[in-house]
Amino acid sequence: MKIYSKILQKVICALFVCLLFNSCVTEEFSEIDQQNGIERVQPEEAFPGIIGNEVEVELFGEPATMAEINKTIVFEGDILIPYENEGDTKLAGLTGRRWTNNTVYYEIQSSLTNQARVTNAIAHWEANTALRFVKRTTQSNYIYFQTSTGCSSYVGMIGGRQVINLAPGCSTGNTIHEIGHAVGIFHEQSRADRDEYVRILFENIITGREGNFRTYIANGQSGEDYTSTLDFGSIMMYGPTFFSKNGSPTITKLDGSTYSIQRTSLSVNDIEGINKMYPSSTSGTVTLKGNNGQYVSSENGVKSMNCNRSAANSWETFTIIDEGGGTVSIRGNNGKYVSSENGTKPINCNRTTPGSWAKFTLVSRGGNKYAIRANINGKYISSENGTKEMTCNRTSIGAWEEFTITGL
């Protein structure tokens, strides 16, 4: 059976990060292979243990092989590809689009168990990248986290509602992994230069699973590797015995040794790659002056902020970072982020990452004047007229809550 899929090549080229393959697991657990001394993590699959029927697909005019399981086309084991129409045999294809404005809208199925794994995974992505995840209201393009027998995802924003399937055993780490697919990341071992780092032992791979180990180029796809080397620590990396038919390694380093993988967090290289795909939008250096004519100072993060400086030196310069969805963070010259402290105590510039207390909305007051509203409590930052430490606890905008931002 031959299926033809038309895919938007230019868009997908911009999206594919360097990773490819099966996504998710029925249950994540580690065990020690007594024969080889390898720590095992179960492979991630959309339909665990089911190989399905191989079908040929045309991608960019080149043949590729995918699996059809339960009337679902599964690419590289866990990546789902939609049909154009219900009951049709023609695929809608991978559009490979990025999420606009670095913002991913989402909804969680009410019956999904352990929803904390979703919210914790989202928090991890937000703490380490410029992507922002916003609960859907009426948006047409969004991720829907739902229960399933396996874990799987589409790749990139495909348009409309797209699911991330999570079996009860899928962990927070697995969810981080699946979100990686949804924002456009493929598996690490499929990068174009992987043969410079690993050996694929096809003789040990379960029959019918060989396609999971091809590079994206061998699978007829265009892509781009956003980092300079293969990362064994990537949350998207295959384990050394994934899809082994005999317990022996299916992937080794070039010297024949094995390696460990993790499903805990994005690696440094994961973060580097995704930040190249979804860069934060930053201003140049800005200053903030209160209506008292004095400049806001970060106090270098060593004490609470003040609005009492007559001149703008290094502690009085900031960078406004677009976090997506109309949200910004404010970074001091010390590299730390301004925190609202949830309005319970004076504000500080000492946060290493822009968490929920460090997200703000700039409210235009005309010209280059703005009020700064914290997203966490809906309150406004006040200069306190420079007479005491600044706070974020005002319910309305008065003179002390207006700032002139120069350089924005």
Q: How far apart are CA 243 and CA 262, in angstroms?
A: 17
Q: How far apart are CA 390 and CA 385, in angstroms?
A: 9
Q: How far apart are CA 110 and CA 228, in angstroms?
A: 41
Burial zone of 407 (CB within 10 Å; 0-12 exposed, 13-18 middle, 19+ buried): middle
Q: How far apart are CA 156 and CA 384, in angstroms?
A: 45
Neighbours of 360 (CB within 10 A): 26
Among residues 20, 2, 6, the alpha carbon closest in space to that of 223 is found at 20
Cα torsion angle, 298, 387, 340, 310, sign: negative
Report which residue type is found at 408.
L
* Annotated binding-site residue? 124: no
Q: What is the distance in angstroms between the CA of the first residue and the CA of the last residue of the chain?
A: 57
Among residues 4, 96, 95, the alpha carbon closest in space to that of 57 is found at 4
Q: How many residues does the chain have?
A: 408
What are the residues whose beta carbons fall under 8 Å from the beta carbon of 69, sequence distance 6 or more?
46, 47, 50, 51, 52, 53
Q: At what angle do helices 116-128 and 172-182 cross, to 10 degrees?
A: 60
Residue of 28, 44, 76, 178 marked active site: 178
Among residues 235, 265, 287, 264, the alpha carbon closest in space to that of 353 is found at 265
Is position 68 annotated as part of the catalytic site? no
Cβ atoms of 168 and 114 closer than 8 Å? yes
Q: How far apart are CA 16 and CA 146, in angstroms?
A: 25
Judged by DSSP in three states, 105 sits in: strand
Q: Which residues are annotated as a binding site?
A: 177, 181, 187
Q: Which residues are annotated as a binding site for Zn(2+)?
A: 177, 181, 187
* Positions marked active-site: 178
